[in-house]
């Protein structure tokens, strides 16, 4: 109950059977497998939700709320204040779990309380964090095949003809028509957090350029068993690089600068008040870039792939950067042809600390 009224399905204002067929919502997935954040300005908890199950979207017609979404939750009672769904009726495993970062910007003499997220589906979204309204959205990857774009009023995807994996029921009932989808299900950006600089007003997005062959299969729910109903193979989109660190302007959608990396980028990004952008690579490098120009200013090979997010801290008037290293995770496990690029990388497992030069320390 909320405010004396019964709440169906444990969802504030929800009605059973509207966006899911029958009772499929009971095993429909949508886990919040990345940590959330708290926004004091709106007194809201922000969480992203995973993809719906099974992957075969033909078995669950409808938007499948609240999967592949960003949620604002009231911390006092757990009710959903607003939601924004990035991929309704997700058929590509485009989880909506990526972080939602609060930021303010000025427009027409007014302060806009916004929040931004770079989704696995390849689109970057700017939302009003007070009510969840869509402000703007744009691609942050070089190619998107599953959608032609976003509705400028609502932000809903405009699905591309032939972009969804086929229905097994249309063929022999075991395997549907295969499509080439870009980005791959590992995402235009995955779990690794992007960063925002209050000085430049830019977001720094660790992204990847890859595609996948994906097809749907027949599947039945069995407790404790994988509930996919799909098969896939991931492929690099380019011969020279997969990872791209991008500086994106949230007000215009412009890519201000980019750094291309041979292997996928799978580590988080950090900005500093000294206008530095730090991230790591699977090849083992911790790298620092100029936040305004993208010039690579520093690199250090740690000896093992970097998946962790750098952090900064101060002691005795000095500023330091630390990062944990150690390679593994989803890319070598699920990466298909991409896994060949990273198969010889060292796993490792260490913590490294570096001291910033005086001219790059934040002014006190």
Q: Which residues are catalytic?
A: 93
Which DSSP symbol is given to 42?
A: T
Which regions of 108-218 does DSSP assign to beta strands (E)? 110-118, 123-128, 134-139, 147-150, 157-159, 179-181, 195-196, 203-208, 210-216
Round the CA-based radius of gyration of the chain to a whole number and report it: 21
Contacts of 327 by beta carbon, 8 Å cutoff, 6+ apart: 282, 284, 304, 305, 306, 307, 342, 345, 346, 347, 348
Q: Count of CB atoms within 10 A of residue 142's CB?
A: 16
Q: Count of CB atoms within 10 A of residue 104's CB?
A: 11
Q: Count of CB atoms within 10 A of residue 342's CB?
A: 20
**Residues paired with residue 323 on neighbouring β-strands, in sequence order:** 352
Residues 58/84, Cβ–Cβ less than 8 Å: no
Q: Give the integer Cα–Cα distance in Å for 272 and 89.
A: 38
Q: Give the integer Cα–Cα distance in Å for 325 and 323.
A: 6
Q: Give the integer Cα–Cα distance in Å for 12 and 1.
A: 9
Q: Count of CB atoms within 10 A of residue 204's CB?
A: 26
Q: Give the integer Cα–Cα distance in Å for 231 and 218.
A: 11
Sequential DSSP letters for 45-112: EEEE---BSSS-GGGS-S--TTSSEEEEE-TTT--EEEEEESSTT-SS-----S--EEEEEEETTEEE
Which DSSP symbol is given to 357?
A: P
Q: Count of CB atoms within 10 A of residue 77's CB?
A: 9
């Amino acid at each position: 109950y909320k405010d004396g009224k019964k709440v169906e399905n444990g969802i504030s204002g929800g009605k059973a059977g509207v966006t899911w067929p029958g009772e499929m919502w009971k095993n429909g997935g949508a886990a919040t497998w990345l940590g959330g954040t708290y926004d004091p300005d709106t007194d809201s908890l922000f969480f992203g939700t995973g993809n719906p199950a099974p992957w075969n979207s033909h078995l669950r017609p409808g938007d499948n709320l609240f999967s592949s979404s960003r949620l604002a939750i009231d911390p006092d009672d757990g009710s959903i204040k607003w939601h924004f769904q990035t991929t309704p009726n997700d058929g590509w495993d485009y989880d909506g779990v990526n972080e939602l970062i609060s930021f303010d910007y000025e427009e027409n003499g007014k302060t806009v309380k916004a929040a931004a997220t770079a989704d696995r589906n390849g689109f970057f979204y700017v939302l009003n964090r007070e009510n969840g309204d869509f402000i703007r959205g744009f691609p942050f990857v070089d190619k998107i095949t599953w959608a032609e774009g976003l509705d400028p009023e609502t932000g809903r995807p405009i699905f591309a003809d032939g972009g969804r994996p086929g229905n097994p029921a249309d063929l022999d009932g075991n395997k549907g028509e295969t499509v080439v989808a870009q980005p791959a299900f590992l995402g235009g950006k995955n779990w690794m957090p992007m960063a925002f600089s209050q000085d430049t007003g830019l977001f720094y997005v660790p992204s990847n350029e890859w595609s996948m062959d994906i097809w749907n299969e027949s599947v039945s729910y069995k407790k404790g068993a994988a509930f996919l109903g799909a098969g896939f193979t991931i492929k690099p989109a380019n011969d020279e690089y997969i990872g791209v660190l991008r500086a994106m302007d949230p007000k215009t959608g412009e890519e201000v600068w980019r750094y291309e990396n041979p292997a996928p980028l799978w580590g988080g990004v950090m900005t500093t008040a000294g206008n530095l952008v730090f991230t790591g690579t699977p090849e083992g490098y911790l790298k620092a870039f100029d936040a305004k120009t993208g010039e690579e200013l520093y690199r250090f090979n740690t000896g093992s792939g970097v998946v962790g997010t750098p952090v900064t801290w101060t002691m005795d008037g000095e500023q330091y950067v630390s990062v944990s290293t150690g390679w593994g995770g989803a890319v070598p496990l699920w990466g298909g042809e991409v896994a060949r690029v990273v198969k010889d990388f060292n796993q490792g497992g260490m913590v490294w600390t570096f001291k910033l030069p005086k001219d790059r320390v934040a002014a006190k």
